[in-house]
Amino acid sequence: MKRLLTFAASAIALAASPLAAQDIAITGATVATGDGSDPIENATVVVRGGRVVAAGAGVQVPAGIPVLDGTGAWVTPGIFASITNIGLEDVGAVSASNDIDADDSPFSAALDVAPAINPQAQDFSYSRAGGVTRASVTPGAGSSIFAGQGAIIDLGADFDAVREARAFQMVEMGERGARLAGGSRTSSHALLRNALREAADLDDVGRLRTVTDNGRVRSGDDLSIDPRLAGRAEREGDVLLSRFDAAALVPALRGEQQLYVRVERASDILAAIALREEFPSLDMVIVGATEGWMVADRIAASGIPVIAAALRDLPASFEQLAATQSNVGRMVDAGVTVAIAQYDSSGEHPRNLPQMAGNLVGINNVPGHTGLTWGEAFAAITSVPARIAGHANEGVLRNGAHGDLVLWDGDPLEVSSAPVRVWIDGVEQPLENHQTRLRERYRTLDESQLPPAYRR
């Protein structure tokens, strides 16, 4: 494996602009494409111009492309980590470094993580070193059921992390939402409906023209900023949301922006699904769904995808009484599209996603459990979350997909394996970080000549 350890990251500092993509072919490796299929032995992956050209057995390596012998290694797409806080904090308990929740903010739905994301946060590089190449980043709900708007990022070592700003709106509709709404689910449901109606009122195009003359405001991506965000502050009527928050909900109401609804309890899931009867254009994703297996057929019938924790099995709250590690497998078997994401404890991070997925393979050997096949489990942390996020060309190795590769020293779902090299859009990434530097500094404790502080 030593021959694979050739990339020397010379600098931890981020490049001011993205590094150049390099064409590469990796041969002789075990390749998992991330599309749900089984791994392919002795296969080849070709990346040119930052995009995957081909992946599989019998792939011809185009002439003139640098070839890396991947014998003994695995090659996969990068992990797509859903619902993370990557780049929003340095240290969770150091509030000045933590931009996840905005407990005291006057705003809610209008909160937007995009300008707060810091690619230099160590979590960025730790996750990248763990093979995470793409992620969704969500704010936490601080003062309202609306947490605000999340983004889709890549984890390249540059300052251009945000690939899609305001990709989704996050709303809490379970126990936490009820507390935030004033103490009851009755209130969170009333608040949600009221907020969407306020947004609908604002969405009156004719009135819009009288309010502002700014026209479309360009944001540099596919999703235009609603012009009212740049317009006047007044509006009429009896309203609970600030104008800014109500306007921020317009894209979600129209179905132009995904609405991530966090619910755990079976009955809460059904109540969320029922929202579409009142607001047919909502493009919902259910987040959580710890008791999803109990209503899996109805989730499947709704077509709403789910982002669920893999390993919850405790009645951690009264909305999770039926928790089981078979939850994901049972939902998948019922036809639900399910991505895995779980960061429940202080110790669970995006780089642990392969371990979580691996556990869902392992439980297949326990009678009564319903797990995932290896291919399904790996897809649940790569192509499936990418597809749910609307980024179907990420998390997968196929012609035209982003050239996000991870070269592993073994089965990526096995706890003993780790990434050896990582590429994003064909650009090889540095894997050094604060942890790797500490590791090397303290490899020896010898201070007979000078203290460790002089070892760099």
- Scanning 57-65, 119-127, 211-219, 241-249 for contacts with another protein by CB under 8 A, the matching segment is 119-127
Contact string 269-298 vs another protein (x = CB under 8 A)? ----------------------x--x----
Sketch the per residue contact string, 208 through 247, with another protein: x for CB under 8 A, - otherwise.
----------------------------------------
CB of 186 or CB of 435, closer to another protein:
435
- 312-341 mask for another protein (x: CB under 8 A)? xxxxxxx-xxxxxxx---------------
> Contact at 8 Å (CB) between 150 and 161?
no
Q: What does the block give as tokens for 154?
A: 């890549």
At 28, list the tokens. Answer: 């002789």
The structure tokens listed for 344 are: 């429940």
* Complex with another protein: residue 138 or 352, whichever CB lies closer: 352
Nearer to another protein, 198 or 409 (CB): 409
**Least distance in angstroms from the C-beta of 113 to another protein:** 18
The neighbouring-strand residues paired with 112 are: 149
Binding residue for another protein, selected from 6, 17, 210, 365, defined by CB under 8 A: 365
| 28 Rama class: left (phi>0) / alpha (psi -120 to 50) / beta | left
Among positions 243, 349, 402, 421, the unique one binding another protein when judged by CB under 8 A = 349
Query: Toward another protein, which CB reaches closer, 16 or 94?
Result: 94
248 HSE (CA, 13 A, CB side): 24
Query: How many Å apart are CA 229 and CA 214, to the nearest integer?
Result: 10
Instruction: Count how many residues are written for the chain.
Output: 456
Contact 371, 326 (CB under 8 A): yes
Size of the site for another protein (CB under 8 A): 59
264 binds another protein (CB under 8 A): no
Report how far residue 393's alpha carbon sits from residue 386's, in angstroms, rounded to the nearest whole number: 8
Residue 65 per-residue DSSP state = -
In angstroms, the CA 375 to CA 390 distance is 21
Given candidates 20, 57, 274, 366, which one binds another protein under the rule CB under 8 A?
366
Neighbours of 220 (CB within 10 A): 8
By C-alpha distance, which of 271, 249, 254, 251 is closest to 262? Answer: 271
Stretch in the footprint of another protein (CB under 8 A) among 14-22, 182-190, 395-403, 416-424? 416-424
Options 169, 359, 382, 429; binder of another protein; rule CB under 8 A: 359
Which letter does DSSP use for residue 179 in this model? Answer: H
Which one among 49, 57, 72, 122 touches another protein, defined by CB under 8 A? 122
Q: Which stretch binds another protein (CB under 8 A): 30-38, 105-113, 240-248, 415-423?
A: 415-423
Q: Report how far residue 408's alpha carbon sits from residue 396's, in angstroms, rounded to the nearest whole number.
A: 16
Query: Which residue has tokens 């009142």?
Result: 278
Q: Smaller CB distance to another protein: residue 297 or 344?
A: 344
Distance of CA 344 to the CA centre of its chain: 15
Q: CA 124, CA 132: separation in Å to the nearest integer?
A: 9
Nearest to 99 by CA among 86, 115, 116: 116
Stretch that binds another protein, among 42-50, 220-228, 342-350, 393-401 (CB under 8 A): 342-350
Gap between the Cα atoms of 430 and 233, Å rounded: 46
CA angle 169, 173, 178 (to 5 degrees): 125
**Of 37, 392, 418, 432, which lies in the binding site for another protein, with binding defined by CB under 8 A?**
418
Closer residue to another protein, CB minimum distance, 27 or 320:
320
If one asks whether residue 125 binds another protein (CB under 8 A), the answer comes out as no
Q: Does 352 bind another protein (CB under 8 A)?
A: yes
Q: At closest approach, how far in Å is the CB of 378 from another protein?
A: 12
Min dist. Cβ of residue 256 to another protein (A):
33
Q: At its nearest, how many Å lie between another protein and the CB of residue 344?
A: 6
Supply the minimum distance, in Å, between the C-beta of residue 298 and another protein. 15
- Residue among 128 and 312 whose Cβ is closer to another protein: 312
DSSP character string of 124-157: HHHHHHTTEEEEEE-PBPSSSSEEEEEEEEE--S
CB of 216 to another protein, least distance (A): 40
Which residues of this chain interact with another protein, rule CB under 8 A?
A: 90-94, 122-123, 126, 266, 291, 294, 311-318, 320-326, 344-347, 349, 351-352, 355, 358-359, 361-363, 365-369, 409, 413-418, 434-435, 438-439, 442-443, 445, 452
